[in-house]
Amino acid sequence: MASTEVAPQAPVASPAAKAPLVGKPDLIQRHLARLGWMFTAPALIFIGLVTLFPIAFAIVLSFEHVNVTANGFQLQGATLSNYHTVLTAGLWHHALWFTTYYTVISVIIEVALGTMFALVLERLTRFRGPMMAILLIPWSLITVISAELWGYIYNATYGVLDDLSHIFGTGEPVVLGTPLAATVALIFADVWKTTPFVTIIVLAGLVMLPQELYEASEVDGASGWKTFWSITLPLLRPTLGIAVLFRILQAFGIFDLPYVLTGGGPGNSTTSLAILGYNTLFLDLDFGPGAAVATTTALIILLMCVIFLRVFKAQVGKEAVGA
């Protein structure tokens, strides 16, 4: 009678033996997360010290009656008079108005020119790199240096603009001597420096657009203008929104360009909110009202960003539903 041999079976692991393996990926992830926080903690602490602490301290000062002495300053109790002084001051109203229309006009011009330059660069097949390098020269300059250069150009005695006025016989240029001329000069200098920044952002968005839509529009016989308004501009709205948001944040807090180029003048015609806060804090030594100017400026910027992001999100949502 043939004997039957039973093949040995592999031992079955008990649930208790499998238990230590359960959850190991989660433990590894948590360990890596703790390790990441440990390495980033020094940088976060440094950022908190140089960014968050001054903001919190400025808010505290804006609600305090500050007495300046020979040994420093003393806090002498909470008060709302700082905000009453600032919000009822005509100079603050003028600085708010100047900063607002300076921001609106400069951002509109920069976005329009930046989009045009980006469209040209996107169509270039040769020399795109050198053209972008040349375009980025104004943006690479420090704003203080850029303001000094434009100050030499606008100088009524030895500036380039003065020489051009003599060559073309247009008379003596009135630059930086009247409020309107000083404002136009500031906007022109800002547009010259910052348009390349918008161009690079818009160009990055153009490169990412799907080419199939353009091929389909070309087959349908759509003109270049209609293609731009129907395809390019709607698809570029998220990119343009990012560019506009960055420029609003930068332009509304403008300080260095008007401080170097016009000093806030003539008179107070080009005094921005940042310059007003600086003059109040460090020239007049009114720490309470100066901190109130800084706090109100930050609140206005925050409110503008929230409104812009809500409108932008709603617009993108409508386009997504329509698509």
CA distance 71 to 194: 43
Domain ranges of the chain: 24-78, 90-322
Q: What is the pLDDT of residue 44?
A: 87
pLDDT for the residue 210: 84
Please compute the mean of the pLDDT values over residues 106-129 and round it to a whole number.
88
Amino acid letter at 216? A
pLDDT of residue 241: 87
Helix (H) and strand (E) counts for the chain?
Answer: 16, 2
Residue % of the chain over a pLDDT of 70: 87
If residue 56 lies in a helix (H) or strand (E), which one and from where to where? Answer: helix 53-62
DSSP state of 220: T
Local confidence band at 320 (pLDDT 50, 70, 90 cut-offs): low
Averaged over 122-141, what is the pLDDT? 84
**In the structure encoding, which two tokens stand for residue 314, read together?**
């709603």
pLDDT higher at 76 or 104: 104
Model pLDDT, residue 195: 93
Predicted confidence (pLDDT) at residue 16 exceeds the cutoff of 50: no
- The pTM score is 0.79
DSSP states along 274-314: HHHHHIIIIIS--HHHHHHHHHHHHHHHHHHHHHHHHHHHH
Angle subtended by helix axes 128-135 and 179-207, to nearest 10: 150
How does residue 22 score in pLDDT terms, banded at 50, 70 and 90?
A: very low
Please report the pLDDT score of residue 201 as a whole number.
Answer: 92
Q: Which CATH class is domain 90-322?
A: mainly alpha
CA 145, CA 137: separation in Å to the nearest integer?
Answer: 12
* Model pLDDT for residues 215-226, shown as the tens digit of each residue: 787 777 777 788
Helix (H) / strand (E) element for 203: namely helix 179-207
- Helices 143-154 and 160-168, packing angle to 10 deg: 30
pLDDT of residue 245 exceeding 60, the answer is: yes
Q: What distance in Å separates the CA atoms of residue 206 and residue 226, rounded to the nearest whole number?
A: 16
The bridge status of strand 72-78 relative to strand 64-69 is antiparallel
CB 231 within 8 A of CB 217: yes
Query: Considering only 186-200, 204-218, 253-267, 307-321, which range has the smallest mean pLDDT?
Result: 307-321
Residue 63 identity: F
How far is the C-alpha of 82 from the C-alpha of 281, rounded, in Å? Answer: 12
Query: According to the model, what pLDDT value does residue 271 have?
Result: 93
pLDDT grade, residue 318 (50/70/90)?
A: low
Q: How confident is the model at residue 193 (pLDDT cuts 50, 70, 90)?
A: very high
